[in-house]
Homo-oligomer: A and B are copies of this chain.
Amino acid sequence: MHFGIIGLGRMGANIARRAMRAGHACVAYDVDPRSVEALAAEGAKGVAGIAELVEALPAPRVIWLMIPAGLTGDVVAETARLLSAGDILIDGGNSHYRDDVRRGRELAERGIHYVDVGTSGGVFGLERGYCLMVGGPDEAVAAVEPLLRSLAPGAGDVARTPGREGEHSPEELGYLHCGATGAGHFVKMVHNGIEYGMMAAFAEGLNLLEHANAGAERDELSVEHAAEVAPLDEPELYRFDIDTSRVTELWRRGSVVSSWLLDLTAAALRENPSLDGLAGRVSDSGEGRWTVKAAIDVGVPVPVLAASLFERFSSRGEDRYANQVLSAMRQQFGGHRELPGSRA
């Protein structure tokens, strides 16, 4: 089918490529003309502006936006002004679902369909396909299904779930109409929230493995630390020298924690076993925050997801004042000194 794409960053360009490889005809625009040229060289029709893109597409038009979240609102507005009733605007970026709900309602007043697509797959998507979580009105989602199907990974060699038989359902092919407008990004948001929790579970566990020889190191520390830090009661139980690079590789086979995140972790630790050059300031791009706030809105407890989010905040030093307060309180009730330590 014909579709336009606006935004040819890493994600947008690869989505266009994967669609074209499946035979879809693509009209492409980006603010950077070099990105347009690059994709035109691979078969897309490059255009110099949104108006030109809209003109180049047959009605009803299908336009996929792949724009940084902060800019999506403006591009949606600008594009929508040029569209007609029956056209379909897809937001495939990392929008907050609450923006979808509002935008969908506004566009619906003019008969324009808005479809939100949460897209997982990152830099591997071009080859592996994208996992697509879709929200929007039934007819619009149905109209773009050929495109979704081409972008999705397909059934691949994933073992079939017991009880599933016959033709593959969309979710078995890697795309799913999750519900009304916003449902796609809502599911994607929760997906990322879960990802935060899984990542933290690995990080905490590997940190413990890395400290498994605390009993060996402790002798020299004991003099200095004795007064203020609880000593290790049984140092003889913590004298293991464990290679996290090899352990993560091991767990990839036959273990309960095998997962794509583990694959990535094993790759990272193979590439850089000592994690040299990483300061451990962990960014967060918003979905984790949105997930916890949504859970609070509906009164659902998410202690693990929240803890994983807060660990990231703390990794960037945002716990500093809280810790100073704690030290100050301890000084008040008995002259506890702070210990010199590794965190300057």
Contacts and interface: CB of A to CB of B under 8 A. Distances in A.
A217 to B, nearest CB: 10
Nearest to A201: B197
B316 A308 contact: no
A163 B272 CA distance: 11
Q: How large, as a class, is the contact surface on chain A? A: 35 or more
B334 A318 contact: no
Interface string A126-148: 00111101010000000000000
A51 interface: no
A235 to B, nearest CB: 9
Given A131-B253, A183-B242, A305-B205, A338 B279 contact: yes
Interface stretch (A24-32, A56-64, A76-84, A258-266): A258-266
Given A208-B298, A260-B258, A267-B162, A229 B283 contact: yes
B303 A254 contact: no
Interface stretch (A33-41, A106-114, A320-328): A320-328
A182 interface: yes
A123 interface: yes
Contact of A328 (B198, B200, B275): B275
A74 interface: no
Interface in A205-219: 205-212, 214
Given A153-B254, A250-B171, A307-B307, A264 B329 contact: yes
A223 interface: no
Interface string A231-263: 111101111111100110111111111111111
Contact of A319 (B196, B252, B298, B311): B311
Contact of A265 (B174, B259, B329): B329
Contact of A341 (B172, B281, B303, B339): B281
A278 B230 contact: no
Contacts of A121: 254-256
A120 B305 CA distance: 25
Contacts of A198: 197-198, 201, 257, 259
17 contacts: A70-B226, A121-B255, A128-B254, A157-B157, A161-B266, A164-B249, A170-B250, A186-B209, A195-B256, A208-B298, A214-B298, A257-B259, A258-B260, A292-B296, A304-B311, A315-B319, A316-B342
Given A70-B226, A187-B247, A280-B323, 11 more contacts: A70-B231, A131-B255, A182-B240, A210-B321, A211-B321, A230-B286, A257-B261, A280-B322, A283-B330, A301-B318, A314-B319
